[in-house]
Chains A and B, each alone.
Chain A
Amino acid sequence: MTVIWVYNAQETADAVKASLSDGSKLALRGRDTKRALGRPVEAEHTLDLSRLAGAIRYEPEELILTVKAGTPMMDIDLMLREQRQILPFEPPDWGPFFGAPDRRGTIGGILAADVCGPRRFKTGGPRDSLLGFVAVNGFGEVYKAGGKVVKNVTGYDLPKLMCGSFGTLGPLVEVTLKVLPAPEREDTIILRGLTVPEALRILRGIAGEPLDATGLSHLSGELAQHLEGTLGVAEGLTAIRFEGAREAVEERIALLMERHRRAGARRLGGDVSRDLWRRIGNLDLLHREPGVVWRIAAPPFAAAAIAQEIGPNAAQYDWAGGLLWLLLDDAPHAHASLVRAVASRHNAQSALIRASDAQRAQYGVFQPQDETLARLTRDVKAAFDPDAVFNPGRMYQGI
């Protein structure tokens, strides 16, 4: 397998044209931190996009950031921090979880793999922050879509489509993102020892109150025990985060401390709070435990039942139950039929997140689609990449 390095949009397009002319396939990579996410790709060449890096234009006052797609997240974080701004979808660093170094991934990879953190239920995912892009399609053409302002409905919203497309519609070259002011203050309340249904009921309740909580997670004892110091106890840990103006955070924390005082509510201040949510987002606690990991996006009310029917060894619940991470014994079949059946029964969407190449190849990663959706998926793929040059098989067989 040869590696092709490209330094600009035109070279990227030329590489695609070369593939079109000799019928070869291209595996896309940024800095190669998420190769283990999605189905394994078989391709003659690797198209390395990591040299497409650097800021193009950052306008903090417009809440807009335009960068080349291969820009490392580390550089973006630094730029944003200087202006006290953030990416709303709280992109975590999944490097170590997938066996790669930390602080290495690129923004293109984050967008392509739809990677987002604990705040998504409140401020949206990558799709809600990507405003515009330049990309190369499977015809070897450079094209653009979306815009560079925060509000735009001109033409189809292709930026949404690119998020979570795992490179199968072509490489992103340049991206324009919406950024937000960093919250002035963050604080977290934790509750200990709740059962999963109890914890999720409380979290759903808070999500339904006008309190603007921005983190609503529950960790099973098997995961919580890996936390440092007094947090590391082998019992369930329920965490509720508030971010915003100092006075607003104070008010909400006081309200919930009072409400859960008898249940032993504890307050975690800024740095401790930040560290906890970073570890939740980075899947750091799941990383400590061996086994197969499934991610299930669910209607929040179904979360407890889904977990009960699957019976994981350990679990992390985010978004007040809207997202489950379930750890199961490693088994050759990866529990695929059980997990998918349960997910399907509850109108949820499963994804096989951590498993061997062989398991992901054989059982697939994403919830299987019905016939009409599968046909649309094929037709959309063909609209961008008719010769299936990019990342063949990364999402589904043939896609």
Chain B
Amino acid sequence: MHLPPPDLSIVARRAEIVAGLREIMPGHVISDDESLAVYDCDALTALRQKPLCAVLPGTVAEVAAILRYCRDAGVNVVPRGAGTSLSGGSIPLGDGILLVMARLNRIVEVDYENRCAVVQPGVTNLAITHAVEERGFYYAPDPSSQLACSIGGNVAENSGGVHCLKYGLTTNNLLGVEMVLIDGSIVTIGGKCGMPSGYDLLGIVTGSEGLLGVVTEVTVRILPKPPLARALLMGFPSIESAGQCVADIIAAGIIPAGLELMDRVSVGAMEAFCAPGYPLDAEGVLVAELDGTPTEVNTLIARVEEIALKAGANSCRTSSSEAERLKIWAGRKAAFAATGRIAPDMLCMDGTIPRRELPAVMRRIRAMSESYGLPVANVFHAGDGNLHPLILYDVMKPGDLEKADAFGADILRLCVEVGGVLTGEHGVGIEKRDLMPVMFDAEDLAQQQRLKCAFDPTSRLNPGKVFPTLHRCAELGQVHVRGGQFAHPEIPRL
């Protein structure tokens, strides 16, 4: 995991570039070293680097003018929402400007008749729900960082959350975006209608990690909030029996709103942090949430309880009030903060595996933990097989960061080996960029990069993220890849 080396010929033109941008937007170009320190990383804090400058546009027209300028001047652009990416999606590049969307933070329209909201990209995820909850609606995707993360960033990363088993990721909850392309043209994709015709460009823009364009307005679906949600807290003597319980719940035709599994290490950390009342003697703690109308919730809670006891749960408690439900969630939601207290630094991984592989993968992660000499705490979105092993390390200890990095890469290779994927919801970014060939062949990656070229032919938007090898678009048009070897080995590998 490392940052791409900056193009020094761009860095040398820094003063000229800053001046050029100030002509477009006199007030909101940040270029002094001290102020830029604020922008030197995102939530992948292991890597830091200052951008050429940070630019904070306030209108779509300004975004368009900035992008056009950057394309013409040959300057790289890294878009940034709230900077909460865990994969380094918004880490600045030394040879690029940071395009900070924070000032575009208005809720443009709430349209209850069409059950949608139109918002600017800098609006936080939670603010959307706040804007519509008075009428009993909410915005479903709920990444852990929802208090801080912006909807623009959610679109870029296709963010998930603990409720996506039932309600889907960002991509399943979007209706449209307005986006600015690198040449400054403004394009509207989708809108308030649920099924636009033509190629599903909204589908590829979502989760494109800032590589295709800069989103300037988002139309999201809002849902009526279920009148009741109850949580079940279940303790299991082994990860196997907890995993079996998850499989049995799904096999019984029940899709809970949330289904979270935690191992003993993380449960210990959470208890110490906020005392959510988790069973400390359990090897696996499972939280299931059922939502809907009261009859529905109570029926399903009873069914899940029965399944859990059959699967060998040695404790099982159901929330009987909203306060109790929130308390059960408090531990899981504080996973990062709690784990952060038991080690100076932490690397959060994000692979997905077929659920049946859970016990085997857990065993292998434990073995790796021993051989690397780094502890690991595990939290999973168990319903969809999305793992979040938290690798604990100390950046001040020489070699620890490198070890953590290698450990994380081994976990992700394991995920792919058992039939899973590198990232379930955090994105590839810089963190997993070099692992892309583990999952995709050269042909697969070339096809993805050709798509990139359709949007950004000079590769100015967030270069060095997602793809391990840069290609010039003209070459991709004819490149035929054979036997895993790219036809142009002279092009630098990042």
Contact = CB atoms under 8 A, between A and B. Distances in A.
Contacts of A301: 111, 113-114
Contacts of A156: 204, 207-208, 448, 451-452
B199 A141 contact: no
A158 B197 contact: no
Interface string A143-154: 111011111111
Interface stretch (B75-83, B157-165, B323-331, B396-404): B157-165
A298 B197 CA distance: 11
A241 to B, nearest CB: 16
Contacts of B172: 124, 128
A369 B443 contact: no
B419 A149 contact: yes
A244 interface: yes
Given A211-B293, A367-B197, A151 B160 contact: yes
Given A154-B422, A379-B455, A149 B191 contact: no
A373 interface: yes
B163 to A, nearest CB: 12
Contacts of B441: 143-144
A381 B450 CA distance: 10
Interface string A116-159: 00001100110110000000010101111101111111111111
Contact of B185 (A152, A165, A351, A372): A372
Contacts of B359: none
B250 A347 contact: no
A97 to B, nearest CB: 18
A334 interface: no
B114 A299 contact: yes
A8 interface: no
Interface in B164-198: 164, 168-169, 171-172, 181, 185-189, 191-198
B90 to A, nearest CB: 15
A390 interface: no
A379 B200 contact: no
Contacts of A157: 158, 171, 203-204, 206-207
A84 B451 CA distance: 38
A158 B187 contact: no
Nearest to A180: B255
A151 B425 contact: yes
B195 A125 contact: yes
B277 interface: no
A97 B367 CA distance: 59
Interface in A90-133: 114, 120-121, 124-125, 127-128
A22 interface: no
A210 B292 contact: yes
B295 A395 contact: no
Contact of B355 (A62, A155, A297, A347): A62
A349 B195 contact: yes
Interface stretch (B95-103, B122-130, B222-230): B222-230
Interface string B199-222: 111111011100000000000000
Contacts of A60: 251
A148 B439 CA distance: 11
A351 B204 CA distance: 22
A141 B476 CA distance: 13
Nearest to A63: B250
B96 to A, nearest CB: 21
Given A127-B203, A151-B169, A158 B448 contact: yes
Contacts of A142: 443
Given A128-B168, A141-B443, A210-B227, A248 B293 contact: yes
Nearest to A84: B253
A239 interface: no
B477 interface: yes
A118 to B, nearest CB: 13
Contact of B423 (A61, A154, A181): A154
Interface stretch (B11-19, B36-44, B279-287, B380-388): B380-388
A206 B203 CA distance: 28
A182 B253 contact: yes
B444 interface: yes
Contacts of B293: 210-211, 248, 251-252
A32 B90 CA distance: 47
B200 A163 contact: yes
A143 B253 contact: no
B428 interface: yes
A204 interface: yes
B191 A347 contact: yes
Nearest to B439: A154
Q: Which of B157, B172, B197, B208 has the most CB of A within 10 A?
A: B197
Nearest to A247: B299
Given A211-B293, A245-B300, A248-B292, A153 B194 contact: no
Given A62-B356, A157-B204, A184-B253, A351 B420 contact: no
A270 to B, nearest CB: 16
Considering residues A183, A211, A370, which has the most beta carbons from chain B within 10 angstroms of its beta carbon? Answer: A211
Contacts of A317: none
A157 B203 CA distance: 6
Given A62-B354, A151-B160, A380-B451, A120 B194 contact: yes
A149 B200 contact: no
B186 A152 contact: no
A384 interface: yes
Contacts of A369: 198
Interface of A: 59-64, 84, 114, 120-121, 124-125, 127-128, 137, 139, 141-145, 147-161, 163-165, 169, 180-184, 204, 207-212, 244-245, 247-248, 250-252, 297-301, 319, 322-323, 347-349, 351, 366-367, 369-370, 372-373, 376-377, 379-384, 386, 395-396
9 contacts: A141-B446, A148-B419, A152-B421, A152-B423, A152-B424, A160-B200, A248-B292, A299-B192, A384-B447
7 A-B pairs with least C-beta separation: A160-B203, A181-B253, A248-B296, A379-B454, A299-B192, A301-B113, A383-B450
Interface of B: 111-116, 136-137, 157-158, 160, 164, 168-169, 171-172, 181, 185-189, 191-204, 206-208, 224-227, 247, 250-255, 292-293, 295-296, 299-300, 352-356, 381, 384-386, 419-428, 432, 436, 439-441, 443-448, 450-455, 466, 477, 480-481
